[in-house]
Structure 1
Amino acid sequence: MANPIRDRSMSHLRGWFGEICTRLGLWFWLPSRTYRQFHNIVVPTSNGTTQIDHLIVSTYGLFVIETKNMKGWIYGNEQDSQWTQKFRGTSYRFQNPLKQNYRHLCCLEEHLGLPRTCMHSIIFFIGEAELKTPMPGNVLTHGLSSYIRRHREPLLSEQDVEQIIAAIQELKRDRTLNHATHMASLADRHSSTTRCPKCGSDLIERQSKKGDHPGSTFLGCKSYPRCRFTRQLSQEP
């Protein structure tokens, strides 16, 4: 019989172990004089907070890494809002990590005042995951450090790097920016009826023109079509 508490504990343990393995691999293969590493950074923004798994700072840019500790087959593409994991005959849905990491880049852009052209988004699947659909080159199941080292075009000056490091260290020293406050911010952001949880733009009331319920109203992001977030309005009893 399934034990939800045990399953959650094992999931957290696997996630923790995967993060430790990722840190060790980055520490071993990336020279610290060239690549400064930060982990589990909570970044405040005008639209709540975001939490970044790993951030590598160098003159070759900022490498923003979202890790996923999963087994089985992974299906998805850049446009899907959710991807699918198939493991032991069961399918699970999870947020598209490319879109998830895109928010991380936007938050860093806002907080650091840097253009996203100086940043590299990387999705790294830890464990025994197999990508079953064509994926962009920045979605990896191995070779994370090698992928980072292949970027050799300087995008930032040494002075830029020092300023970024100082800003990230300031975030790490702020005791109010922790996992608990981030989870509270996440809950507030996803329950908001005025702000888009994906991009921070206003939510406005729209009317469905087709589909199963034409004429019904819903909340949609003001930045459509750049952002396609929608939320159903609660129906009055």
Structure 2
Amino acid sequence: MRHALPLALAALLLGGCASHKPEDFNGTWINQDAIDAAVKGTSLRQALADHGPVFEWKVDVKNQKASFSNGFEAADGRLAANQKDWQVEFEGGLSEQLTLAGDELLAKDPSGHTQTFVRAQGSNSTPLGSSFERELYKAYLGGDWKILEGRGQGAVVRFSDNGSVTGLPGPDRFALCMAGDCATMGAGNDSLWLERNQLGAPWIFKREGNRLEIFQAVNRAQPDEMPQLAAGARQWVLEKN
């Protein structure tokens, strides 16, 4: 019986003071607020900056792991119970507190900044960050786009949530710039990557409602400086049907 008290205390610790079961935290959680803001706004980069920096969490209570993605980098942390639900500790002293509020996951950093996440649909085995990316692609570029101006005029373009694109002359893959070096090099512009057969280049784009303009990216930096991309000649104008 001498082990009964320590086991009871351990169970109390793992339960915390929350009304949720530990396994309720499990799964992939995405930043739906950032996606909604991107769809409603005119600047993808601004929407993601305003609602970032984290876009996805993966929580594995059994293995005491929690990881997040900011659209450019990923971090793996150790999950532990405390009196405020769960604490995630990362190398370098970074920590996050995870709490459930109804069906939402709240992540709060030591400064008090709190982000809200909703559970992603589908399998939890998808790579970290990919669930948010797919939902963003679907909401932001989903549907049929008709080329109004540029090569392939009149064709219907479809951007898939898996990063493939059809109907756009030349490229068959795309990726939206969400954070990191590509955002820095964009110099405040929204940018995307277009490629075919693993050969591609960055492009500047502007999206307003159902209109999407894609421009050549012109580097205005000096040779020994980090690239600073600006909009050059307009290549395509697309309209969503």
Global fold match (TM > 0.5) = no
Pick the structure with more strand per residue.
2
TM-score range with shorter-chain normalisation? under 0.3
Normalized per residue, the structure richer in helix is 1
